[in-house]
Amino acid sequence: MTVAPELPNPDDLGRPWSVGEPTPESGWLSDEDLAEARGRLPMVYVDAVPVRVDASGDVVSVGLLLRMDSSGFTRALVGGRVNYHERIRDALVRHIEKDLGPMALPQIPSSPQPFTVAEYFPTPGITPFHDVRQHAVSLAYVVPVAGDCHPSQTALDFDWITPEEACSDVVQAAFVNGQGTLVKQALHWCGRV
Amino acid sequence: MTVAPELPNPDDLGRPWSVGEPTPESGWLSDEDLAEARGRLPMVYVDAVPVRVDASGDVVSVGLLLRMDSSGFTRALVGGRVNYHERIRDALVRHIEKDLGPMALPQIPSSPQPFTVAEYFPTPGITPFHDVRQHAVSLAYVVPVAGDCHPSQTALDFDWITPEEACSDVVQAAFVNGQGTLVKQALHWCGRV
Amino acid sequence: MTVAPELPNPDDLGRPWSVGEPTPESGWLSDEDLAEARGRLPMVYVDAVPVRVDASGDVVSVGLLLRMDSSGFTRALVGGRVNYHERIRDALVRHIEKDLGPMALPQIPSSPQPFTVAEYFPTPGITPFHDVRQHAVSLAYVVPVAGDCHPSQTALDFDWITPEEACSDVVQAAFVNGQGTLVKQALHWCGRV
Amino acid sequence: MTVAPELPNPDDLGRPWSVGEPTPESGWLSDEDLAEARGRLPMVYVDAVPVRVDASGDVVSVGLLLRMDSSGFTRALVGGRVNYHERIRDALVRHIEKDLGPMALPQIPSSPQPFTVAEYFPTPGITPFHDVRQHAVSLAYVVPVAGDCHPSQTALDFDWITPEEACSDVVQAAFVNGQGTLVKQALHWCGRV
């Protein structure tokens, strides 16, 4: 089996570190360093489209976070940044647990092949995806979730809706950064259209 | 949701039928008709590579059937023919239940995109796959299996082995029809090599 | 390299044949046999979505056939049945040449992994795909076409349109059997939405 | 069509810049900044497996760079880092031109879906892939190349070899960082094994 990485040995990183420094949990980066890097390097992200499936694997519903930001209520997918020295599959587990709680029981894909790669640019219009903060390259996966989902404090709510609702104009209009397109891509890939 | 087909109405099939005719369960085909068709048409098949995965979706072991045939003990994957008017995902469920029993709890993929298509030819050497009986076009899927597996009467045993063992010369030599290659393709696709 | 199959030796097929019998070109099947089989067995098909791409592989336009049938003018993809003892990739080459002529210069995918599998049922509503004649399992591929395309006699015309036009209501309404959905799936998979 | 990004407007980047600063061509990063970031953030990479294909898309040969480093002659794939504000497909074009010259005529995939994602860790043994300099997340694509290839000054040579040779022990032993495994994954995905 491939091995979940332990905290790397400082010697492996070619640099010492000490108390007070960014920890592995922080993604090895201070907020200042991260802000600076975001203007200079593409960030590695994962996007997960949580789905409920029936006994034959067919998608029954899609799970969407409800958030409140400056533009009002918005819909969002589960996901976030991949940390230094973190496997893609471990980042998926971490972000799903962070956004949906510890009882979600996600079925992480056995292959690293994503259904697509979403390229979020700080400049709008280059791709369907946009992130004013940064250039993010996001590996996107459909993740069946079998357990109970409880949104974290960063979200107001988490709702299961039908694929048809998820593609409806009203729900699509609630997404930001083009994630509505990513949901459609996921559902088309699943044959649920 | 896409809909599991019910028994089709004869009128939809453009032909009547009567008691004694092949039933939907038989794949709508008598043995004679099937034998004839096998010499004239490619057959639609599914191959499933059963795997055990850890909490992060990483493949821990591969499940293989043990069979006895004229050439002695052989290893085989789960799968078989797709019936007339049967969805791919329903064929996967049916063959996994047939080969591993009703408690296997398979996680059928939510997308119909297979990791590869195995083309079994009656003539050896055209592809790595060979089936003396027929030309079969098989959609191949990796299927995580979470429950208890009990091989059906058509198999002597069912064993979970490591990916490394599954790729070893001794196990590879026990496959027939090129299915050892299909297991290797599945594991390479999962990043377990 | 895998090998394009030659005409199989009758001995390989476990049956003799003689002059007047269906030829390999006919898919080894008389029209009567084919009609009969279509009511009993799923047929293996390929669907190709012809695209023009720019130097970076990005889809610029989609190629659609224009046909006239009982329901009037219809749009269609390139493709058709996979013959007995024919490789998927050879079926793609044959159908593209049949529908677009010998100068199309298609770039057949190097992997057999399709972007999706379209399941056409004789009963409407089971999947987005419907074929009153048969149950067809179609492996769907996006095929960049670099050369000149001239529709065969079975089509009135062949047009290159933008992805946006291909997804528009007016063009979508011109498809039959759900192929408009397949075009959308292809474009979503290509990130062109 | 998605749009190849122009040089971003500084205002989009939320920071001013001036003469002497890293340019878009440099990937927006000074060598010092890059070295620092490599110890703190996963880098986005692309790996391309150049192949020659026949008229039916079947892989005939694989193209490998020959390099000389401290450990002697080594084999390598084409690829490298994705720059800030650069699309994946543009990074593929840039690295193929850099490594194979301007006449290679690569057929960049129309979909962003890679055949796998190679995770290179600075710590050996976590995945098959290892990079002492950094944690790199590499999107891997098979890229048919139709034109003439001339290795850049960073390579001694570029050779086309058969898939069988590419998987042989002697060639596999010449790869570093686990790229021999990536070649095998590519060929298994293409059905060439």
C9: DSSP letter = P
Residue-wise burial string across A141-164, b where 16 or more C-beta atoms lie within 10 A, e elsewhere: bbbbbeeebebeeebeebebeebe
- Average pLDDT of every residue of chain A: 88
Residues of A whose CB is below 8 A from D37: 37, 40-41
Amino acid at A55: A
Q: Tell me if D36 sits within 8 A of A160, measured CB to CB.
A: no
Residue C31: CB atoms within 10 Å: 9
Chains contacting chain C through 3 or more C-beta pairs under 8 A: A, B, D
Residues of chain B with pLDDT > 90: what percent? 75
Beta bridge partners, B44, equal B137
Residues A148, A133: Cα–Cα separation, whole Å: 32
> Which of 164-193 (C) contact A at CB < 8 A?
181, 184-185, 188-189, 191, 193
Residue with token string 């593409």: A42
Amino acid at D115: F
Residues of chain D with pLDDT > 70: what percent? 87
- Note the pTM of the prediction, 2 decimals: 0.91
Residues of chain A with pLDDT > 90: what percent? 75
Q: Tell me if D50 sits within 8 A of D75, measured CB to CB.
A: no
Residues B87, A56: Cα–Cα separation, whole Å: 10
Residues C43-101 pLDDT 10s: 999 999 999 999 999 999 999 999 998 878 999 999 999 999 999 999 999 999 999 99
pLDDT band at C15 (very low <50, low <70, confident <90, very high): very low
pLDDT band at A12 (very low <50, low <70, confident <90, very high): very low
Residues C140-193 pLDDT 10s: 999 999 999 999 878 999 999 999 999 999 999 999 999 999 999 999 999 998
| Structure confidence at residue B63 (pLDDT) | 98
Residues D10, D12: Cα–Cα separation, whole Å: 5
Contact partners, residue C184, CB within 8 Å, separation at least 6: A188, A193, C166, C167, C172
> Which of 22-81 (B) contact A at CB < 8 A?
51, 53-60
Half-sphere exposure (CA, 13 Å, Cβ side) for A84? 25
Lowest mean pLDDT among A35-39, A53-57, B43-47, D47-51: A35-39
Residues B115, B128: Cα–Cα separation, whole Å: 16
At residue A146, does pLDDT exceed 50? yes
| Structure confidence at residue B154 (pLDDT) | 83
3-state secondary structure chain A: CCCCCCCCCHHHHCCCCCCCCCCHHHCCCCHHHHHHHHCCCCEEEEEEEEEEECCCCCEEEEEEEEEEECCEEEEECEEEECCCCCCHHHHHHHHHHHHHCCCCCECCCCCCCCCEEEEEECCCCCCCEECCCCCEEEEEEEEEECCCCCCCCCCCEEEEECHHHHCCHHHHCCECCCHHHHHHHHHHHCCCC
| Structure confidence at residue D5 (pLDDT) | 78
Q: Which of D110, D142, D191 sits opposite C144 (nearest CB)?
A: D110
| Structure confidence at residue C33 (pLDDT) | 79
Q: How far is CA B54 from CA B51, B159, C9, C140, in A?
A: 10, 17, 48, 32
Residues of chain C with pLDDT > 90: what percent? 75
CB contact under 8 A, A41 and D29: yes
Residues of A whose CB is below 8 A from B163: 1
> Which of 84-113 (A) contact D at CB < 8 A?
84-88, 111-113
Chains contacting chain D through 3 or more C-beta pairs under 8 A: A, B, C
Give the residue from A183, A144, A190, A179 showing the smallest Cα distance to A165: A183
At residue A16, does pLDDT exceed 90? no
Beta bridge partners, C45, equal C81, C138
Mean pLDDT along residues D104-108: 98
Residues D138-182 pLDDT 10s: 999 999 999 999 998 789 999 999 999 999 999 999 999 999 999
| Structure confidence at residue B31 (pLDDT) | 79
Q: At D81, phi and psi to the nearest 5? A: -75, 145
| Structure confidence at residue A1 (pLDDT) | 53
At residue D77, does pLDDT exceed 80? yes
Q: First vs last Cα of chain C: how many Å apart?
A: 36
Residues A142, A115: Cα–Cα separation, whole Å: 8
| Structure confidence at residue B18 (pLDDT) | 39
| Structure confidence at residue D13 (pLDDT) | 40
Mean pLDDT along residues B56-81: 95
Question: Which domains does chain A show, CATH number per domain?
Answer: 33-189 (3.90.79.10)
Nearest chain A Cα distance for residue B152, angstroms? 20
| Structure confidence at residue D90 (pLDDT) | 98
Residue count of chain D, please give it: 193
Give the residue from D2, D31, B51 showing the smallest Cα distance to A118: D2
Mean pLDDT along residues D85-114: 97
- Average pLDDT of every residue of chain B: 88
| Structure confidence at residue C103 (pLDDT) | 96
Lowest mean pLDDT among A20-29, D13-22, D76-85: D13-22
Residues of A whose CB is below 8 A from D127: 2, 87
CB contact under 8 A, B44 and C137: yes
| Structure confidence at residue B9 (pLDDT) | 44
Residues A57, A60: Cα–Cα separation, whole Å: 9
pLDDT band at B36 (very low <50, low <70, confident <90, very high): confident
- ipTM entry: 0.88
At residue D93, does pLDDT exceed 80? yes
Half-sphere exposure (CA, 13 Å, Cβ side) for A56? 18
Residues A99-139 pLDDT 10s: 999 999 999 999 999 999 999 999 999 999 999 999 999 99
Mean pLDDT along residues C2-20: 49
Nearest chain B Cα distance for residue D170, angstroms? 18
Q: Tell me if A166 sits within 8 A of A74, measured CB to CB.
A: no
Residues of C whose CB is below 8 A from B37: 37, 40-41
Query: How many A×D Cβ pairs under 8 Å?
Result: 136
Residues B134-172 pLDDT 10s: 999 999 999 999 999 999 878 999 999 999 999 999 999
Lowest mean pLDDT among A140-144, D18-22, D67-71, D76-80: D18-22
3-state secondary structure chain D: CCCCCCCCCHHHHCCCCCCCCCCHHHCCCCHHHHHHHHCCCCEEEEEEEEEEECCCCCEEEEEEEEEEECCEEEEECEEEECCCCCCHHHHHHHHHHHHHCCCCCECCCCCCCCCEEEEEECCCCCCCEECCCCCEEEEEEEEEECCCCCCCCCCCEEEEECHHHHCCHHHHCCECCCHHHHHHHHHHHCCCC
| Structure confidence at residue B39 (pLDDT) | 85
Residues A191, C119: Cα–Cα separation, whole Å: 10
At residue B57, does pLDDT exceed 90? yes
Residue of chain A nearest D22, judged by CA positions = A40
Give the residue from B125, B37, B138 showing the smallest Cα distance to C13: B37
| Structure confidence at residue B153 (pLDDT) | 75
| Structure confidence at residue D23 (pLDDT) | 47
Q: What tokens does D110 get?
A: 């129309």
| Structure confidence at residue A28 (pLDDT) | 57
| Structure confidence at residue B149 (pLDDT) | 96
Question: Which candidate in C31, C90, C111, C123 is best for mutational testing of the B interface (most B CBs within 10 A)?
Answer: C123
Q: Which of D33, D82, D112 sits opposite A116 (nearest CB)?
A: D112
CB contact under 8 A, C84 and B127: no
At residue C30, does pLDDT exceed 80? no
pLDDT band at C12 (very low <50, low <70, confident <90, very high): very low
Tell me the angle at which helices C179-189 and A179-189 cross, rounded to the nearest 10 degrees. 120
Residues C170, D64: Cα–Cα separation, whole Å: 48
Query: How many A×B Cβ pairs under 8 Å?
Result: 87
pLDDT band at B116 (very low <50, low <70, confident <90, very high): very high
The secondary structure of B1-33 as a DSSP string is: ------SPPGGGGTS---TTSPPGGGTT--HHH
| Structure confidence at residue B75 (pLDDT) | 96
Q: Which of A142, A189, A192 sits opposite B2 (nearest CB)?
A: A192
Q: What tokens does C128 get?
A: 């987005």
Cα three-residue angle D52-D57-D60, rounded to 5 degrees: 35
Query: How many B×C Cβ pairs under 8 Å?
Result: 135
Mean pLDDT along residues D8-15: 41
CB contact under 8 A, A189 and C185: yes
C25: DSSP letter = G
Lowest mean pLDDT among A20-34, B110-124, C104-118, D146-160: A20-34
Residue C34: CB atoms within 10 Å: 19
Q: How far is CA A76 from CA A13, A134, A157, A173, A187, in A?
A: 35, 17, 10, 11, 15
Mean pLDDT along residues D110-135: 96
CA torsion, ordered D170, D176, D178, D184, to nearest 10 deg: -40
At residue C11, does pLDDT exceed 50? no
pLDDT band at B33 (very low <50, low <70, confident <90, very high): confident
